[in-house]
Amino acid sequence: MSSALPDQRSNRRMWLFLLVMLAFLYLPLVPPVINSLSPADPSGWFKHYAEITQSSVLMEGIKNTLVLGVITALITPLFALAIAQAIRAWRIPRILLALVFVPLFIPGVSMGVATALFFRVLGVSPSMLTMAVVHILWALPFATLLLLTVMASFDRVYTEAAHMLGASPLRAFFEVELPQIYQGLIGASIFSLILSFNETIRTSLVQGRHNTVQTYIWSKYQQVGLDGTLYAVMTVLIIVTLALVALLAWTDRRKAKTA
């Protein structure tokens, strides 16, 4: 009995700490949701959500955000896979890792300005292309790290056995390794999509006349402040992001079960 009491106290402290951390993380998400509703308005609680479709600028930003998200989610995992394969195959893994991860330690404003100047030197005007490049470069280190973690659990004995049976490296990859790591690619794609949806600073410096949802929120907040429509947009983004995080967690859990 005496040993059980300290264990119970320890468990209670652990749960209390967990609840405090969850409250610290998620309570700031509550005010935008509350302010997005308009219960006193005769037109209904969700009036501000209906106003989203009435703004042509905001709808264009939503379209651009979706296009950039899909491009980032499709291209980033492929680049990350190539880098992860190079890190595993070449004898300079630390140098490659440093080259990939250094941009994470550069402030977003500095990285955005440097990228904008680089495009200007090349004579490339701000466009959806420049925005897509920025999103891919931002998501690439995270996708690479995720794939490296997944590939570390793959036993290369299987590919060596495939080579001994006459399979080419490309065939061995597609028929032996890829079926084992494809869920990592899906996870990298989802994570890249989340990062693309929430990128603001770097995008605002290379967007030109194009908007995303995040840059629209930021620019309108700077000019006129927050209103019901912005709260509604923020709430939608919160819900979408949490849904993608849940999907990423489900993918990771499924991968663990398969392993």
pLDDT tens-digit readout, 8-36 = 777 788 888 888 888 888 888 888 888 88
**Band of the pLDDT at 118, cuts 50, 70, 90?**
very high
Residue 104 CA to residue 159 CA, distance in Å, equals 33
Distances (CA, A) of 138 to 23, 112, 130, 196: 28, 10, 12, 8
CB atoms under 10 Å from CB of 194, counted, come to 23
- CB of 64 within 8 A of CB of 212? yes
Work out the average pLDDT over 173-195: 87
Across the range 189-205, mean pLDDT stands at 91
Residue with tokens 């610290």: 24
Q: Which of the four pLDDT bands, split at 50, 70 and 90, describes residue 6?
A: low
Sorted by where each begins, the domain ranges of the chain are 55-258
Residue 61 burial by Cβ neighbours in a 10 Å radius (0-12, 13-18, 19+)? buried
Q: Which residue has the higher pLDDT, 41 or 52?
A: 52
pLDDT digits (tens, 9 = 90+) for 121-166: 999 998 999 999 999 999 999 999 999 888 887 777 777 787 777 7
Domain 55-258: top CATH class = mainly alpha
Nearest C-alpha neighbor of 233 from the set 6, 33, 18, 26: 33
Provide the token pair at 188.
Answer: 């990298």
Dig out the tokens for 44 from the structure: 């209904």
Amino acid in the structure at residue 49: Y
SS3 state of residue 89: helix
CA distance 188 to 173: 18
Kindly report the pTM of this predicted structure: 0.83
